[in-house]
Structure 1
Amino acid sequence: MNRRLSHAVDVAARHGIAQRLADGSRALYDRLTAALTAWAAAGRRDDLTGWRAALGPILRLVLLGGLAYGAYRAARAAPWLMWLAAAAWTLAAWRAGGHEETPAEEPETTPEEHPAEAAVALLREVLGDRPAVHLSEVLAHLQKQGQGEDWKVADLRLRLEALGIPVDPKVKLRGVPTRGVRAADLDHHFPTRETSPSPTQVDAA
């Protein structure tokens, strides 16, 4: 009986270790992919259009490909590097997979506002009564509040588009056309009580 119990404990322990490494590896992969994707996308020039604007991300992707090929050649020349890389990855995965589960106290907190609604509210605040606003102005407003300090305009654009907020590539303000958000687009995709048509207006149409 004791032998069976000990065997069961050993199996459970091995399963827990394997699960922790698997969870950590998945978390590391997701973080690395997201970081590299954001870094490549941040190379886009918002003051340019067409292929010139996409030249930065393309060059960064080429650089990443060159680094990957260099790592492959180094591993072929010195196979022991693979063992070193595997040990480093295993250690990082073990640490990443060791996060403690959040206690059951969190559901007691009030639910936060939906990210898209919060972003729209911020954009309406920066817009005021103007028809449009440049993303650079929105980013400056965010950074004054201590948010997005290491963001670029491209980072803000990607986040807004991921939330379904339309970004116009040619918003012209003070004679300068660049990426921005138009109040009319916000009203169309995220109508408020003030911007949504009343029943009288619908009937009249």
Structure 2
Amino acid sequence: MNRRLAAAVDVATRSGMAVRLATGSRTLYDRITEGLTAWVAAGRRDDLTGYRAALGPLLRLALLGALAYGAYRTARAAPWLMWFAAGAWALAAWRAAAPAEESVEGPADTPDEASAEAPVEAAVALLREVLGDRPAVHLSEVLAHLQKHGQGEGWKVADLRVRLEALGIPVDPRVKVGKVPTRGVRGADLNARFPTEETCPSPTQVDAA
């Protein structure tokens, strides 16, 4: 019996480690892609028009391509370096999937009010506050709002995305705000998933339908 129990614990431990590495790898991948996407998009010149405005992003894409090709050539010339790269990635992924000590909560007037709200309700209230009357908002703006109120310290956009999706809040990967498409939340999606009294159809509308 003790051997079976030990074997079960060992299997569960390995499974948990694999899940953590997989989750961390996804989070790390999202962080890198979102960071590179934002960096490339930031090269666009709003004071220029036509192809000249897009020269900045094109040059940055070319630089990324050159770096990727250089990494490929280095790996072909010295394959043993891949062991170090794999180890570094696994360590970064493990750290990226560290258990969260904080939950997504919207800024509240008092700690008692914040603790009284469920995490989903608090997150939805936060998003509606940041959205205002706009149709959509980037997660980077939501994160900046959180950190301005002393929450989410050390978080990246990918960390916020993972927490929102875990709460069932729809996150769109291509929300365009200010000509920059990236991850964000649309008001229409939020209201469809979490309807309010204003967004719920009236009994008359239901009967008419």
TM-score normalized with structure 1 length:
0.56
The answer as to 2:171 corresponding to 1:158 is no
- How many residues align? The count is 136
Q: Note if contact 2:34-2:182 (Cα within 8 Å) is conserved in structure 1.
A: no
CA deviation map 1:36-63 (0-9, x unaligned):
0110011001011111111110110010
Q: Note if contact 1:24-1:97 (Cα within 8 Å) is conserved in structure 2.
A: yes
| Mapping 1:46-85, distance limit 5 Å | 46-85=46-85
| Mapping 1:1-205, distance limit 5 Å | 1-100=1-100, 102=102, 106=119, 109=122, 111-114=125-128, 117-118=131-132, 120=134, 157-158=179-180
Deviation at 1:78, TM superposition (A): 1.3
TM-score normalized with structure 2 length:
0.55
CA deviation map 1:114-168 (0-9, x unaligned):
26633749xxxxxxxxxxxxxxxxxxxx9xxx8xxxxxxx985427996679xxx
Deviation at 1:20, TM superposition (A): 0.4
CA RMSD of superposed structures (Å) = 3.5
Question: SS where residue 69 of structure 1 aligns?
Answer: helix
Percent sequence identity is 58
CA deviation map 1:59-84 (0-9, x unaligned):
10010000000001111111121111
CA distance in structure 1 between the partners assigned to 2:183 and 2:91 by the alignment? 36
C-alpha change, 1:56 and 1:33, in structure 2 (3 Å) is: same
Uncovered stretches (5+) of structure 1, i.e. residues with no partner: 122-141, 147-153, 166-205
Q: Note if contact 1:75-1:81 (Cα within 8 Å) is conserved in structure 2.
A: yes
If you compute each CA radius of gyration, which structure gives the higher value, 1 or 2? Answer: 1
